[in-house]
Amino acid sequence: MAKIKAEYIWIDGHRPTSKLRSKTKIINGPIRELTQIPEWGFDGSSTMQAEGHDSDRSLHPVAFVPDPIRRGDHILVMNEVRYPDGKPHESNKRDHLVAVSDQHQAQEAWFGIEQEYTFFQGRSPLGWPDGGYPAPQGPFYCGVGADEVFGRDIVEEHLEACLYAGIGISGVNAEVMPGQWEFQIGPLGPLEIADQLWLARWLLYRIAEEYGVNASIHPKPVKGDWNGAGAHTNFSTKAMRETGGFAVVEAACKKLGQRHAEHIAVYGAHNEERLTGLHETCSIHEYRYGVSDRGASVRIPLITAKAGKGYLEDRRPSANMDPYEVCAVLMETVCS
Ligand code: ADP
Ligand code: MN
Ligand code: MN
Ligand code: MN
């Protein structure tokens, strides 16, 4: 038995977009399973999760990974926020996803999320001239060279950290707007992907902090003729992945069109600034799907059309979406 540092991470009640919070607890380790990690608490009045008095809220551990920053036996712990009596707090969107994923377990839903984000130093995106603009978009997407790429050291360190933590990260790339990047997680089941995306976001903020850089997930970090930041959510069920799956993918695309408003409602705040119909998006007021169409709301990847089975890409979720809500609504619409 030795003392270890457990970083308890949770999602606050900030509106319209929740933020991450964390604090350290010294516990007995090493930790082998979740049940060894004690529940903890915090002051909800400082996180928009309580009014003044009676503000104790509890942290209920739901997942843990090795801590890639402190290393050794230290861990990161993802938590749900609950009232002291165990009832889930209104800001806790995970509780609902647990119910939805239990209900549809037989369909074996997989998710792959592309998290776009933008590095900021002070008020400008990283690498941008102070108060000015870089050259127009064009050469930056998947670019190389000091004139095109800004923040690669942070991206590499974040990638290493995710791998160390056992997060199912599947790739990274530089994006269309300079200073903007993407990492992908998955494919994984609904709870795994959502817990791991939040942990990967926390690691990104934490690592960028060392460089004096802030990672923003605002859907339109720079107004004007610059790409916004999304969180394309790739989705499949077992039936979509098997022979004859293309028809199931198409049926899902049609179902998604019938509940466009319900989806947009949980696809992230300020998403209307990004879903304009320009910059590889479809207008927020329209719903369209198509094979290989990056101007559609939902794209059927060419490899899915060619193979006759596979997955669909919902391009509507914005970078600041809550994956607990996005995974839940996708399963509710497609799996029901
Ligand atoms: P894009 O061409 O849109 O940039 P990416 O390569 O960035 O695509 O992301 C594709 C995502 O799709 C990855 O996160 C990958 O894990 C995920 N993915 C691949 N196959 C499936 C599947 N069958 N179900 C769900 N997600 C999948
Ligand atoms: Mn991508
Ligand atoms: Mn992208
Ligand atoms: Mn994509």
Asked which of 92, 117, 149 is the last residue of a domain, the reply is: 92
Q: How many domains does the chain have?
A: 2
Task: Pick from 111, 114, 169, 281 the residue to mutate for probing ligand 1's pocket: most ligand atoms within 8 Å of its CB.
Answer: 114
The mean of the pLDDT values for the chain is: 97
User: What integer is the mean pLDDT of 111-140?
Assistant: 93
Phi-psi region of 52 (alpha: psi -120 to 50; beta: other; left: phi over 0): left
Domain match, 82 and 120 both:
no
- Residue 149 CA to residue 129 CA, distance in Å, equals 14
114 lines ligand 1 (CB under 6 A): yes
Quick check: CB of 313 below 6 Å from ligand 1?
Answer: yes
Instruction: Assign residue 10 the CATH number of its domain.
Output: 3.10.20.70
> CB of 181 closer than 6 A to ligand 1?
no
User: Coil, strand or helix: which one is 95?
Assistant: helix
Q: Rounded to the nearest whole angstrom, what is the distance from the C-alpha of residue 113 to the centroid of ligand 1? A: 7
Under a CB-based contact definition with an 8 Å cutoff, are residues 116 and 230 in contact?
yes
Domain that holds residue 29: 2-92
pLDDT in tens, 205-264: 999 999 999 999 999 999 999 999 999 999 999 999 999 999 999 999 999 999 999 999
Same domain for 64 and 137, yes or no, is: no
- The CATH number assigned to the domain holding 153 equals 3.30.590.10
Q: Which of 40, 58, 92 is the last residue of a domain?
A: 92
Q: What is the pLDDT of residues 66-108, one digit of tens each?
A: 999 999 999 999 999 999 999 999 999 999 999 999 999 999 9
Q: Check whether residue 72 and residue 152 sit in a common domain.
A: no
**Statement to judge: residues 81 and 143 lie in one domain:** no
Kindly indicate the confidence band of residue 130, based on its pLDDT and cuts at 50, 70 and 90. Answer: confident
Q: pLDDT tens digits, residue range 174-212?
A: 999 999 999 999 999 999 999 999 999 999 999 999 999
Full-model pTM: 0.98
Burial (Cβ within 10 Å: 0-12, 13-18, ≥19) of residue 173: middle
Q: What angle do CA 72, 73, 74 make, to 5 degrees?
A: 95
Say how far apart CA 304 and CA 311 lie, in whole Å. 6
Across-strand partners of 134? none
